[in-house]
Amino acid sequence: MRKDVHILVVDDERIMRDSLSDWLLEEGYEVVAVEDGARALEKVRAERWDALLVDLKMPGMDGIEVLEEVKKINQDIPVIIMTAYATVDSAVRAMKQGAYDYIVKPFNPEEIGLAIRKIIAYQDLLKENIYLRHELEKKYEFMDIIGKSHKMQEVLALVRTVAKSNSTILIEGESGTGKELVARAIHNSSLRSEGPFVAVSCAALPESLLESELFGHEKGAFTGAVARKKGRFEIANTGTLFLDEIGDISPKTQVGLLRVLEEKKFTRVGGTEVLQTDVRIISATNKDLKAMVAEEKFREDLYYRINVVSILLPPLRAKKEDIPLLVQHFLKKYCIENKKEIDGLSSEASRLLMKYDWPGNVRELENVIERAVVVAKERIIVPEDLPLLAAEEGKFKPTPDMSLREVEKEHILLALESNNWNITKTAKMLGIDRNTLSSRIKKYKLKKR
């Protein structure tokens, strides 16, 4: 690492200052740590710094104020804001006010390392004067795919690389993680972007229809085939064919697909003419294809054909640090669509967004924001605009770190409330007698919420 990189850490917590300093020193950086904004500003006036790591929540001057003052002294120092989940909304505000980046606590040192390496690379480029301003703004976005998390940065790097090649790609990920979005981005940034992007949902059609949809059919091939029809393989010629939900195709169609992939040739249903096609195949699935291969539900040879490059899209719950940027993006989109003006989210609303598990992934987040924009009465989105998440919040869920006593208490309370505090019914539901229930209510001092 480079000895000449100077980093200033600003955090009111001693443990954070010490552990960050130790780690950065070990990485070979020069580090100074101070405990508040006033001391930080003194340092910024007195010396040259390559980066500032500033805690958001500090008594006295908070991280945003420090950022503002630093920018007055020197516009160009990159400032990274460190923040807890609950205050990510402020992190977005910090980004708007010129923070270089933000990092969500608890973080592992590697994330800081990555952010600092980016700063160094960026400053080298600035020196060489080849960095375009808009590229900085686009650092967490590529063709409408948004992601700052490490996982998504890897995905975006892969997408950029494979787009230029002609290789066959398999995109895996749960429902709503952006598989189609990624497929389109690859097509649009590929050499085939002038050609068509043709999507087929393999799950939507029964076997016979899917075959004729893919390969086309001759007139009279089956009842109802009144005219010759071109298949998607023909239509997608010179472009990209997106085979969505490929895990759902029948064994027979799998054979047909394998042939096109191997020989670039096919025949229409009911026809004999051998046709050629030049398409790039991108497939997507939310199933575990590898497991399906093991269970002999999906052909192994086809699996290897479609899976030359694989892109795995993480579920949203595994990349929560992307939520603030996604929220910003969807807010902007739906404010324009609904002709509304909304500044952001209350901190309680952001906390709910960060806490929720997002089984429907980015699509669900998008729907939640769209709805919130429509129903919001003020310029700030509040928990009432997020009824699903607010309801989820109230629900009791045992976690492994809870004691049995806590779990029992919460569970009894929940049972009582769902029976409107009717003791007989509740006792029956819990499988205990009334006396036992009454003594538990006393023991835990339970009261109507």
Ligand X SMILES: Nc1ncnc2c1ncn2[C@@H]1O[C@H](COP(=O)(O)OP(=O)(O)OP(=O)(O)O)[C@@H](O)[C@H]1O
- Closest to 304 (Cα-Cα) out of 447, 141, 170: 170
Shortest Cβ distance from residue 203 to ligand X (Å)? 9
Could you say which residues in the range 268-297 bind ligand X, by CB under 6 A?
A: 286
DSSP label at residue 93: H
Nearest residue (CB) to ligand X, 74 versus 175? 175
Output the residue with the shortest Cβ distance to Mg ion. Answer: 180
The three state secondary structure string of 14-74 is: HHHHHHHHHHHHHCCCEEEEECCHHHHHHHHHHCCCCEEEEECCCCCCCHHHHHHHHHHHC
Shortest Cβ distance from residue 292 to Mg ion (Å)? 18
Nearest residue (CB) to Mg ion, 141 versus 180? 180
Shortest Cβ distance from residue 366 to ligand X (Å)? 5
- For residue 181, the partner it binds in ligand X, Mg ion, none, with Cβ less than 5 to 8 A by kind, is ligand X
| Site size toward ligand X, by CB under 6 A | 18
Q: Could you tell me whether strands 169-172 and 309-312 are parallel, antiparallel, or unpaired per DSSP bridges?
A: parallel
Diameter over CA atoms, the chain: 85
Shortest Cβ distance from residue 361 to Mg ion (Å)? 11
Compose the 96-115 pattern: x for residues touching Mg ion by CB under 5 A, - for all others: --------------------
Could you say which residues in the range 354-413 bind ligand X, by CB under 6 A?
A: 362-363, 366
Q: Is 185 in the site for ligand X (CB under 6 A)?
A: no
- For residue 205, the partner it binds in ligand X, Mg ion, none, with Cβ less than 5 to 8 A by kind, is none
- Number of C-beta neighbours around residue 26 at 10 A: 11
CA 349 to chain centre: 18
Radius of gyration of the chain (CA): 28
| Site size toward Mg ion, by CB under 5 A | 1
- For residue 173, the partner it binds in ligand X, Mg ion, none, with Cβ less than 5 to 8 A by kind, is ligand X
Shortest Cβ distance from residue 156 to ligand X (Å)? 9
Q: Measured between alpha carbons, how far is 276 from 265 in angstroms, rounded to an integer? A: 5
Output the residue with the shortest Cβ distance to ligand X. Answer: 178
Could you say which residues in the range 101-160 bind ligand X, by CB under 6 A?
A: 144-147
Nearest residue (CB) to ligand X, 108 versus 175? 175
Q: Measured between alpha carbons, how far is 313 from 233 in angstroms, rounded to an integer? A: 26
Could you say which residues in the range 170-209 bind Mg ion, by CB under 5 A?
A: 180
Is the bond preceding residue 400 a cis peptide, omega within 30 degrees? no
Q: Contact with ligand X (CB under 6 A): which of 30, 180, 370, 408?
A: 180
Contact (Cβ atoms closer than 8 angstroms) between residue 323 and residue 353:
yes
- For residue 178, the partner it binds in ligand X, Mg ion, none, with Cβ less than 5 to 8 A by kind, is ligand X
Torsion angle, alpha carbons of 432, 436, 442, 446, to 10: 0
Shortest Cβ distance from residue 372 to Mg ion (Å)? 23
Nearest residue (CB) to Mg ion, 69 versus 180? 180
Classified as helix, coil or strand, 371 is helix
**What's the token pair of residue 422?**
């009717």
Shortest Cβ distance from residue 179 to ligand X (Å)? 3
Nearest residue (CB) to Mg ion, 51 versus 183? 183
Shortest Cβ distance from residue 235 to ligand X (Å)? 21
Contact (Cβ atoms closer than 8 angstroms) between residue 288 and residue 170:
no
Q: Measured between alpha carbons, how far is 27 from 424 in angstroms, rounded to an integer? A: 65
Shortest Cβ distance from residue 386 to ligand X (Å)? 18
Contact (Cβ atoms closer than 8 angstroms) between residue 82 and residue 105:
yes
- For residue 212, the partner it binds in Mg ion, ligand X, none, with Cβ less than 5 to 8 A by kind, is none
Nearest residue (CB) to Mg ion, 9 versus 171? 171
Classify the C-alpha dihedral 148-379-70-106 as positive or negative.
negative
Give the phi and the psi of residue 264 in degrees, each rounded to 5.
55, 25
Q: Which residues bind Mg ion (CB under 5 A)?
A: 180
Q: Which residues bind ligand X (CB under 6 A)?
A: 144-147, 173, 175-181, 286, 326, 329, 362-363, 366
